[in-house]
A and B are shown apart, each in its own frame.
Chain A
């Protein structure tokens, strides 16, 4: 394992343990950083220890003790930390089945009393170990802004008394969605932009961790499966010229089939528990696409039925209309889309784009061109625009 891999894997655990021991987020992070710096110095000559995580945690804990001793604060706290040897604490956790510190950290970072942007930033910093500069870059804000956001969030945790713990069982149903939402947001931030791929990787890593830590929560597995299905198609989503490639036109041979197989397994094990939720249903829809050998073999009836089970937001209704149109023909699809046309979807480029595609399939090229132009004016990314321009040209040339 490279140092980078060890860092990614162990950072969250080291910080999480140090927060539990010291109760001080800033100190925990600084000590973790020092421990990794020490490792970088020592390991090349001494060799990587058998359990790098334990080595790092012990080193970080010793730094914390040194610091507290220097500052001569909290003699009681100091004794408490010194008494809790890392190994002893690991034993205790196995014995009493204390939840993993990282799970505590995840629920604290994603506490609903924090603003969504603060939750995302904190999760990336403390659990994934991204630097403030990296997070700032990913969210296109200046580093000072991100730094202030992180400081404010940590202060709120401390001053408002947000507990550092996994919520009790009765609160889990209302708190788990916040954690899942942060992870999915992270994933989507990375998925929509090639430059920010790192976020996608981190989101998947954290979703894997969450599933491992909450094996009884099928929605955690559902989210992981959903991410794996989408991510398996990443290499085929953009043409060499940067245009978006729709599912129909993607080269299915280049999808990551091992990852799709893993996603199917994760999803199946979740569905077997008999508590389907929005993430499992979305993953099941992604599975219909990912497991079809060719576009024509896609089970659109099944997809339409699955969309009907999701909370009916305007976007879900649009997707459902698309699925029904694909199953029952473009005329049916067009009628459904036109029924949706007013209201909350105004300004959403996929509405005219979907309309345009149905019109194109019906051979109504002039109207299709008009709808493509409307969609072009609303598209937000370069990839979307290029795709729409291509389509517009097609219907214009043959019109």
Chain B
């Protein structure tokens, strides 16, 4: 199963920007569950795209006004939700922010 871990913090997350991920990255790479991912620049540097009636509409900023902001993402490939929860719970950001686990859409075979 593939899952996207969306790692979010609130404004205080900036304080953790240079924390690194401790041994998390090393462990997950050794387990072979990480399929990609990156940290993100803050939401005020985001651009949101919508196409309506053929027109491309651009908005400055993120798509939703929430206190939580997505600060990074990891694509993982693991056995099931329980393993995904275990991986997310070990991520240092789970200690101050929140991590949403979203199963990746897999078209029916």
Do the beta carbons of A161 and B85 come within 8 Å of each other? Answer: no
User: Quick one: CB contact mask for A179-220 with B, threshold 8 Å, 1 for yes?
Assistant: 000000000000000000000000000000000000000000
Partner of A163, one of B3, B81, B101, B103: B81
Main SS of chain B's interface residues? Answer: mixed
Q: Are A163 and B85 in contact (CB under 8 A)?
A: no
B29 on interface, CB distance cutoff 8 Å = no
Please tell me if B49 contacts chain A, counting CB pairs below 8 Å: no
A221 → chain B closest CB, angstroms: 26
Cβ–Cβ contact A160 & B82, under 8 A: no
Are A113 and B80 in contact (CB-based, < 8 A)?
A: no
Indicate if A273 sits at the interface (CB-CB under 8 A): no
A113 touches B103 (CB 8 A): no
Which of chain A's residues have a CB closer than 8 A to the CB of B5? none
- Asked if B1 is at the interface of the complex by the 8 Å CB criterion, the answer is yes
Chain B contact residues (Cβ within 8 angstroms of A): what range? 10 to 19
Report A-chain residues with C-beta under 8 Å of the C-beta of B101.
Answer: 160
Say which residue of B1, B79, B85 sits within 8 Å of A113 (CB atoms): B85
B35 CB, nearest partner CB in chain A, Å: 15
Interface members, chain B 70-93 (any A CB < 8 Å): 79-82, 84-85
Using Cβ atoms and an 8 Å threshold, which residues of chain A touch B82?
Answer: 162-163, 167, 171
| Nearest chain A CB to B99 CB, angstrom units | 13
A113 to B80, CA, bound (A): 12
Interface residues of A in 105-160 (CB under 8 A from B): 111, 113, 159-160
**Residues in B1-32 with C-beta less than 8 Å from chain A:** 1, 3
Kindly list chain A residues whose C-beta atoms are within 8 Å of the C-beta of B84: 161
Residue of A159, A161, A167 most packed against chain B (CB within 10 A): A161
Q: How far is the CB of A62 from chain B (nearest CB, A)?
A: 25
Complex Cα gap A111–B79 (Å): 16
Contacts of A161 in B (CB 8 A): 1, 3, 79-81, 84, 103
Residues of B within 8 A of A113 (CB): 81, 85
Look across to chain B and name the residue whose beta carbon is closest to the beta carbon of A167. B82
Q: Kindly provide the distance from the CB of B2 to the nearest chain A CB, expressed in whole angstroms.
A: 9
Q: Give the distance to chain A from B67, nearest Cβ to Cβ, in Å.
A: 22
Distance (whole angstroms) from the CB of A155 to the closest CB of chain B: 11
Distance to closest chain A CB from B77 (angstroms): 11
Q: Mark A43-57, 1 if CB is under 8 A from B, else 0.
A: 000000000000000
Q: How far is the CB of B107 from chain A (nearest CB, A)?
A: 12
Q: Which residue of B lies closest to A163 (CB)?
A: B80
Closest Cβ–Cβ distance, residue A25 to chain B (whole Å)? 15
Query: Which residues of B lie under 8 Å from residue A167 when comparing CB positions?
Result: 82
Q: How far is the CA of A178 from the CA of B83 in the complex (A)?
A: 18
Q: Which residues of B contact A163 (CB under 8 A)?
A: 79-82
Interface string of B45-74 (1 = CB under 8 A from A): 000000000000000000000000000000
Shortest distance from the beta carbon of B52 to any chain A beta carbon, whole Å: 29
Chain A residues positioned under 8 Å from B80 (CB to CB) = 161-163
A162 to B83, CA, bound (A): 10
* Alpha-carbon distance A160/B85, docked complex (angstroms): 11
Complex interface: chain A residues within 8 A of B81 (CB) = 111, 113, 160-163
A348 to B38, CA, bound (A): 49
Q: Which 10 A-B pairs have the closest CB atoms?
A: A161-B1, A163-B80, A161-B80, A161-B81, A160-B103, A162-B81, A160-B81, A163-B82, A159-B103, A113-B81
> 10 A-B contacts, Cβ less than 8 Å apart?
A113-B81, A160-B101, A160-B103, A161-B1, A161-B80, A162-B80, A162-B82, A163-B79, A163-B80, A163-B82
